[in-house]
Structure 1
Amino acid sequence: MNSQTRPSTAGAGVRWAPMALLRGAHDAAWRKLSTKIVGSLLGFLAVALTVIGATLYLSWQLEGGAAAINVTGSLRMTSFRLSLAVTGLADPRRREPAAAEVRAQVAALDSALAQLRHGDPQRPLFLPPSPAIRQAFDQVTAHWTTRLRPAAMALLGQPAIEPARAWEFQHDAEIFVADVARLVQQIEQDSETRTFWLRGSQLLLLAFATAGTVSIIYLLFNLIIAPVTSLQGGMARMRERDFEVRLPAERDDEFGELAQGFNQMADRLQGVYTHLEQLVETKTAALAAQNRELALLYDSAAFLQRPQPAEEMCRGFLRRLSDYFGADGGSVRILDPERGNLHMLVHHGLSPKLVEAEHCMKVGDCLCGQAVEKKITIVQDLRRMPRGAELECAREGYETVSMFHIYAQQQHLGMFNLHFRQAREFSQHEQALLETLGQLLGTAIENLRLGAREREMAISEERNLVAQGLHDSIAQGLNFLNLQVQMLEQSVRAGQLGEVADIVPALRMGVQESYEDVRELLLNFRTRLVEDSLVNSLQTTIDKFGRQSGIDVVLKADCDGAPFPREQQLQLLFIVQEALSNVRKHAGARHAEVILRDEQDFTLTVRDDGAGFDPLVLATQGEHHVGIHIMRERAQRISATLEVLSRPGAGTTVLLQLPRELRRAA
């Protein structure tokens, strides 16, 4: 039995579930404010239309009844005329007109009775649907069709009638008129009844209109105005910071949901306003802490960008951290990866004994060495360490020591410590701040090292160029003098005074040329830019060269491009000096010109009218030609190309070009 009843129960649940859902949806729909308002208005409209329709129907029936009274009343007048016409049939002299009148009145009576029987909706004209009226009309119709009309037609067919027959017809017509009068009276009574109902329906419509207006006003007030007024009052009290106000949420429509939302908002505002001062204090403290962090970051970044020695930079960095975090001591240690040592570069607030003990520490020793070895940040509470492993920091009275690393481009450079005599904990935010500061310090230290390496490389390259210059000028001159001295020594031993007399002027000329080379090198080494202007510096150099060599040199400059950095301007100046030195030594020229075209592309030309040379011979000499290699190295430093153009007897042109995509602005 159970196995048989379970399916039917499940089926019933399945059948009743949609009905329950539909009933719930129907109830939810009726709880909506819009449904209530629209339903009420539609109900009022339906009742109003019903009453108005009844009124119109009664008016239409009254209008048809009035027309029926008129037609029925005309039956009496027509009957009287018919009686008079029949009386005229007894007079032979009046028979023909009387006969025509009889026929006309009979036709009129037939037509009137037909209209009353069938009605006319367009006029409108119809008998009221009353059984008594219908019975009276049937009696009038029967009287006409069975008695009065046949009698009139029979009298009309006789050649002559007696006066008694005419008076008999007239008596029967009076009976017919009496029946018609009763019919008219019944129709009038029915019209009075319908007029009463029409007035009643009009009064009912007036009463309904009044009651409907009052009901709609009450409905709108109850459904809309009262909740809106209540909500407005609650909002007014809310504006006055009365967060205790609550709205009644007893309704099931939209205003009920709105009241619930208002109450929830009031609860939240009350909670927020209650804790507003605490929130303001918390936010203010957080904002102040953020401002202090930003000030520390900005001050530290600005300080680390200054040109200063590493010790002074680390000392200022450590002082700022100690002031911000309230540290009682600290140190900055630099890592020597080759020897595995940690050197204390600067310190603050540490005793001489502690500094002496930890001025150089091996990686892996103590907490600092372990932090470097494991590359982790350590904040150690020294009070929790075992007594047997007590550190020198703990014996000095510090309770907390922290170790943060110094990095630069993934390279570990060292670490810095902060010591506290009171227990100190660092939040994750503070640790992130200290790690960021460690990266700033590492970048600054790495920049100092890179700057030192760059200066070292610049000095090394400049010394290389100086050595090449000495080799190309003074070394060759001294080699020539050495050969002449050897020849002089051989001539003196051989007693050949004539050869001695020839060698001495050559020695004097060689010494003079070496002296001039030395003066020129010293002058070039002392060359500086005049007021950061390349054109003015070139003009000064050309003027000195003209006075010393006696060669006429002209400068033509057209400069509209962006200015060069000082290092590039110095290289250009040195190239011009070297080119002019070659003109003096090898060209034998009387005139030379330096042409400067500085627009988007930069072009520097040094041209002379000297003897020139064969470029093939220059190619065979390679890098050993006087000054050419030096000029090309200087051109490569500024990413420019240098080309030497010459022909025997046609002078020499040194052309330097720097395209706009490779130039750097100052």
Structure 2
Amino acid sequence: MPSFRERLTTRIVTLSMVALILVLAMIGGTLWLSWQLQGAGAAINDAGSLRMRSNAVAIALLERKAISPSTLQSHVDQMNATLDRLRHGDAARPLFLPDDANVHRQFENVASAWHAPLEPDVRQALAGDPDAVPRYLRELPGFVAGADELVGLIEQENARKTAWLRMSQMALAAMACLGTVAIVYLLYLWIVVPVQRLQEGLARIEGREFDARLPVETQDEFGRLAAGFNRMAAEMQTLYQDLAGCVEAKTAELAAQNRELTTLYEMAAFLNQPNDVDALCRGFLARLTRQFDADGAAVRLVSAQGDQVRLIGSEGLPADLLQDERCFAANACVCEERSCERAGFASVASFDIVSQGEKLGVFSLHFSGERTIPASEAQLLETLGAHFGTALKSRRLAALARQFAVSEERNLVAQGLHDSIAQSLNFLKMQVHLLDAATREARIDEIRDIVPLLAGGVDESYDDVRELLINFRTRLGSGELRRAVDESIDRFGVQTGIAPTLDYRDEGGLPMPPDQQLQVLFILQEALSNIRKHAEAQRVNVTIVNGRDFTLLVEDDGQGYDPDEMAALGETHVGFHIMRERARRLGATLRLAGAPGRGARVELILPGEARQAA
């Protein structure tokens, strides 16, 4: 590091400060001279006014009968004020006498001439002395001559200072020219010359003259740059001597990285395709053997219990080796050394199949010759194992999601069957027992009463089955909710003979996706089914509002129910339970209200934040 004195910035700042101080000093001197000239000019004006005011006093004395004494006294006061300003100066104007002994001595003579003979004569004239005016007139020419001499002395001093001002301005101009030349020359030496040397050195480097060196003559920033340039040139000279080898090595490294990226891209694209596990394993192994020049490969997955590893897929492995290693303990070796040697494989490399830290299995690469996996390829294979594990995990999760959805739907189907057909069959079973007893005892009248009940129960069961089949087969596309609602209400009217009123209002709400529309439709169908079976209603109102929030309201004037009894039944009332389950799926709020003899009310509210995009 260069010292503080050797730094280029220090020299530039020092040069700038010296030039600034000199310029400011010269400007300050010229300002002082101009201020002196301005004050002396004002003094010339006031000194010249002494002659005018003394003559004005003389005229006033000669015409004192026409001029009032106060006017004459005013002239005297102005004369004294002018002398007082010349003696003490006035920095605000500015006004002051030049700092010269002759000027001050002449001023004192003029002031004495006014205060000694002239001013007393004026006052005696005001007092009525007839000889005072002739005396004033005799002394007046000498006073005027003294004032003229005072003005001349001040003008001489001003002329001298004006010459100083011109000389200082010329000196300032000369100093500016010389300073500019000096600064430009110094900056040329300090900055331009080193930059030109750097440019020449760079030009030689561009011309592949790597032996180019710059002279290091200073210890400032440019000296450090020159030393750095020399180090760079020496290093480039060394590197250029082995440039072919470096380029070849770098090219090979880039080609390997491109192959790795291509492998990752192709493998990721393949793993994202909707293939089953078998096709996934086959494609994975085929790409591994092709990319890494392996003679065989295998995928083994850990069993659900985690105690065994099972062979899922293989590529290029003989049948006897596959038979020996179809299944083995999870803590055993992936490939028995003797088995691999008998199969003709000299080396085996295995890597874990993982997903989010969970080990799902292993995959192995088999080589007929000795093969050592380098660190870069090992890292790539570990990454491929992680991608493969993520793909397997996603397919397992998708299968579990499908199983869970089927299980939930089967649960709802079972609940629907229990709430409809199971109860009807139970009623028919009881009637059959009664019919059997009546038949054995030949109670004809009772038989005649039971047969219509059986027929009505069979019809009701048939209607329940048909309604369930229609509901389960319902499929909706985007925007088809209104059509499905109309069909459900029409079907309810045919079954019950009641014509429900429908108020369907679309208030700018976004359309719902088909799965949410289907859940809403199932809740409406379940509510209408409960009314058909239990309400004995005469009037049914359905209101649907599709705004920011989606609202479904079903009301009837039937016999209603006791909320306390329904709360005690809990999930045993399958119809209400199914509606609550579907509302939970939607993320909606379900409100059930009713009173004995006053009908029932089912309200579903799906808030805007729970609605999915269609």
TM-score band, normalised by shorter chain: 0.5 to 0.7
Tell me the CA shift for residue 403 of structure 1.
0.7
Give a deviation string over 1:67-122, Cα, whole Å, max 9, x none: xxxxxxxxxxxxxxxxxxxxxxxxxxxxxxxxxxxxxxxxxxxxxxxxxxxxxxx9
State the alpha-carbon separation in 2 of the partners of residues 520 and 480 from structure 1: 19
Tell me the CA shift for residue 232 of structure 1.
4.6
- Which residue, 246, 256, 262 being the options, matches 1:295? 262
Report what 1:571 is aligned to.
519
Give a deviation string over 1:445-482, Cα, whole Å, max 9, x none: 22222222222222222222222222221122122222
State the alpha-carbon separation in 1 of the partners of residues 416 and 9 from structure 2: 102
Q: Aligned pair 1:596/2:563, yes or no?
A: no
TM-score (norm 1): 0.60
Report what 2:321 is aligned to.
354
Report what 1:343 is aligned to.
310
State the alpha-carbon separation in 2 of the partners of residues 459 and 226 from structure 1: 85
Paired residue type of 1:304: L
State the alpha-carbon separation in 2 of the partners of residues 332 and 534 from structure 1: 48
TM-score (norm 2): 0.64
Report what 2:128 is aligned to.
none
Report what 1:646 is aligned to.
594
State the alpha-carbon separation in 1 of the partners of residues 568 and 183 from structure 2: 117
SS in 2 for 1:618: helix
Report what 2:577 is aligned to.
629
Q: Does the CA contact (< 8 Å) of 1:330 and 1:348 recur in 2?
A: yes
State the alpha-carbon separation in 2 of the partners of residues 633 and 216 from structure 1: 90
- Which residue, 401, 410, 414 being the options, matches 1:467? 414
- Which residue, 422, 426, 445 being the options, matches 2:392? 445
Give a deviation string over 1:262-317, Cα, whole Å, max 9, x none: 32232233344445554444444433433332332233233223332211111112
Q: Which runs of 5+ in 2 are unaligned?
A: 20-100, 102-181
Root-mean-square deviation (Å): 3.9
Tell me the CA shift for residue 338 of structure 1.
2.8
Q: Does the CA contact (< 8 Å) of 1:528 and 1:537 recur in 2?
A: no
Residue 562 and residue 391 in structure 1: after superposition, are their counterparts in 2 closer, same or farther (change >3 A)? farther
Q: Aligned pair 1:498/2:445, yes or no?
A: yes
Tell me the CA shift for residue 408 of structure 1.
2.1
State the alpha-carbon separation in 1 of the partners of residues 559 and 7 from structure 2: 115
Matches within 5 A, 1:114-125: none
Residue 250 and residue 538 in structure 1: after superposition, are their counterparts in 2 closer, same or farther (change >3 A)? same
Q: Does the CA contact (< 8 Å) of 1:559 and 1:596 recur in 2?
A: no
How many residue pairs get matched?
452
Q: Does the CA contact (< 8 Å) of 2:298 and 2:314 recur in 1?
A: yes
Q: Does the CA contact (< 8 Å) of 2:428 and 2:457 recur in 1?
A: yes
Q: Does the CA contact (< 8 Å) of 1:615 and 1:646 recur in 2?
A: yes
Paired residue type of 1:588: E
Q: Does the CA contact (< 8 Å) of 2:558 and 2:597 recur in 1?
A: yes
Report what 1:305 is aligned to.
272
Matches within 5 A, 1:401-412: 401-412=348-359
Tell me the CA shift for residue 334 of structure 1.
1.0
Matches within 5 A, 1:148-187: none
Tell me the CA shift for residue 442 of structure 1.
1.7
Q: Which has the larger radius of gyration?
A: 1
Report what 2:561 is aligned to.
613
SS in 2 for 1:246: coil
- Which residue, 348, 360, 368 being the options, matches 1:413? 360
Residue 287 and residue 590 in structure 1: after superposition, are their counterparts in 2 closer, same or farther (change >3 A)? farther
Residue 611 and residue 660 in structure 1: after superposition, are their counterparts in 2 closer, same or farther (change >3 A)? same
Q: Does the CA contact (< 8 Å) of 1:407 and 1:442 recur in 2?
A: yes
Report what 1:537 is aligned to.
484
Residue 391 and residue 553 in structure 1: after superposition, are their counterparts in 2 closer, same or farther (change >3 A)? farther
Matches within 5 A, 1:4-83: none
Q: Which runs of 5+ in 1 are unaligned?
A: 1-23, 43-121, 123-214, 370-388
Tell me the CA shift for residue 533 of structure 1.
3.5
Report what 2:230 is aligned to.
263
Paired residue type of 1:485: V
Q: Which moved more, 1:569-578 or 1:611-620?
A: 611-620
Tell me the CA shift for residue 335 of structure 1.
1.1
SS in 2 for 1:627: helix
Tell me the CA shift for residue 349 of structure 1.
0.8
Q: Does the CA contact (< 8 Å) of 2:7 and 2:221 recur in 1?
A: no
Q: Does the CA contact (< 8 Å) of 1:33 and 1:223 recur in 2?
A: no
Tell me the CA shift for residue 328 of structure 1.
1.7
State the alpha-carbon separation in 2 of the partners of residues 469 and 345 from structure 1: 41
- Which residue, 361, 365, 368 being the options, matches 2:334? 368
Residue 223 and residue 502 in structure 1: after superposition, are their counterparts in 2 closer, same or farther (change >3 A)? closer
Residue 402 and residue 250 in structure 1: after superposition, are their counterparts in 2 closer, same or farther (change >3 A)? same
State the alpha-carbon separation in 1 of the partners of residues 522 and 8 from structure 2: 97
State the alpha-carbon separation in 1 of the partners of residues 463 and 184 from structure 2: 120
Paired residue type of 1:482: K
Matches within 5 A, 1:190-201: none
- Which residue, 225, 241, 244 being the options, matches 2:208? 241
Matches within 5 A, 1:195-210: none
Tell me the CA shift for residue 626 of structure 1.
5.2
State the alpha-carbon separation in 2 of the partners of residues 558 and 475 from structure 1: 39
Tell me the CA shift for residue 331 of structure 1.
0.6
State the alpha-carbon separation in 1 of the partners of residues 610 and 193 from structure 2: 81
Report what 1:429 is aligned to.
376
Give a deviation string over 1:331-367, Cα, whole Å, max 9, x none: 10011263722111010011112112211122343x3
